[in-house]
Amino acid sequence: MSFTQDVWQRNHALYQATVQHPFNQELAAGTLSREAFIHYVIQDAHYLLAYGRALAVIGAKAYDADSVIQFTEAAKLAIIVERSLHDGFMADFGISKEDFEAAPLSQACHHYTSFLQATAWAESYPVALAAVLPCYWVYAQVGNDIVDQSVANNPYQKWVDTYVSDEFQDAVTKVLATIDALAEQADAATVEKMHAAYTRGAELEWVFWDSAYRCEQWPLLQDALKPA
Ligand SMILES: Cc1ncc(C[n+]2csc(CCO)c2C)c(N)n1
């Protein structure tokens, strides 16, 4: 069995919980609160910069020229997607540059981006790649699974369309092929580390959506700093 077949099976229940999460179900139904979507888009813009950095490190660690190109271009694309959030969803949903800049990272975003950066810098190329795989694969699958549920005139249709696009799905297929080839060459201990990195990344995808659904704020900014 290939690494990607194995990792998908091992994380199947987690994937089901992710696609069934009310954030994704309400996004497909067009009933997700504007507030939760705005929270998500702001945190996602923060996330994508860190994600792009992690991909650039993975590109630097890659074993061959094609893979260096694959991941440094993916790093660039993450930044292009980050910028397009500002002109796209942020403009559409009335989020100003000031709103974005004033919003600190949520705990979930901080946790996930810290995990990606730490893994990219500290771990081997195959393990670092396994950590970023859920970002690709879970989004491609969620997009595919909810596109048929999406209602007419869904205010979030553009979001769904991004992840079912051929361009995104093809990029995911390429990453799956790269990681399977790496896992075939890797020793058993490395493969287990790849599994652990994937599972943590996939858990953090769930946590990221859940945090947006709850409009989670950094706790110290709420009450803790107010004078008694
Ligand atoms: C939390 C979070 N996880 C995954 C993605 C999906 N995604 C957007 S751009 C890109 C790769 C571009 O190189 C990927 C995988 C996201 N937006 N936010």
Domains of the chain: 3-8+22-217 (1.20.910.10)
Q: What H or E segment, with its residue span, contains residue 76?
A: helix 65-85
For residues 23, 27, 30, 34, the Cα torsion angle rounded to the nearest 10 degrees is 60
Distance from Cα 48 to the centre of ligand 1, integer Å: 7
Per the rule left: phi > 0, alpha: psi between -120 and 50, beta: everything else, 153 is left
**Interatomic CA distance for residues 191 and 211, integer angstroms:** 30
pLDDT at position 7, please?
98
Distance from Cα 3 to the centre of ligand 1, integer Å: 21
> What residues flank ligand 1, with Cβ below 6 Å?
44, 47-48, 74, 77-78, 81, 135-136, 139, 205, 208
Summary count for the chain: helices (H), strands (E): 12, 0
Atom of ligand 1 nearest to the CA of 172: 15
45 with 85: CB under 8 angstroms? yes
Distance from Cα 53 to the centre of ligand 1, integer Å: 12
Distance from Cα 192 to the centre of ligand 1, integer Å: 24
- The alpha-helical segments, DSSP class H, found in 86-165 are 91-92, 97-102, 107-122, 125-147, 157-164
Atom of ligand 1 nearest to the CA of 208: 1
Question: How is residue 17 written in tokens?
Answer: 């919980």
Which residue has its alpha carbon closest to ligand 1 atom 8? 78
For residues 78, 147, 203, 133, the Cα torsion angle rounded to the nearest 10 degrees is -40
pLDDT at position 222, please?
61
Tell me which residue of 183, 202, 179 sits closest to 191, measured CA to CA.
183
18 with 142: CB under 8 angstroms? yes
Atom of ligand 1 nearest to the CA of 75: 13
Provide the CB-side half-sphere exposure for 200 (13 A, CA): 20
Which residue has its alpha carbon closest to ligand 1 atom 11? 78
**Interatomic CA distance for residues 131 and 194, integer angstroms:** 7
**Interatomic CA distance for residues 205 and 209, integer angstroms:** 6
**Prediction pTM value:** 0.94
Task: Flag residues of the chain having pLDDT under 50.
Answer: none
Distance from Cα 20 to the centre of ligand 1, integer Å: 19
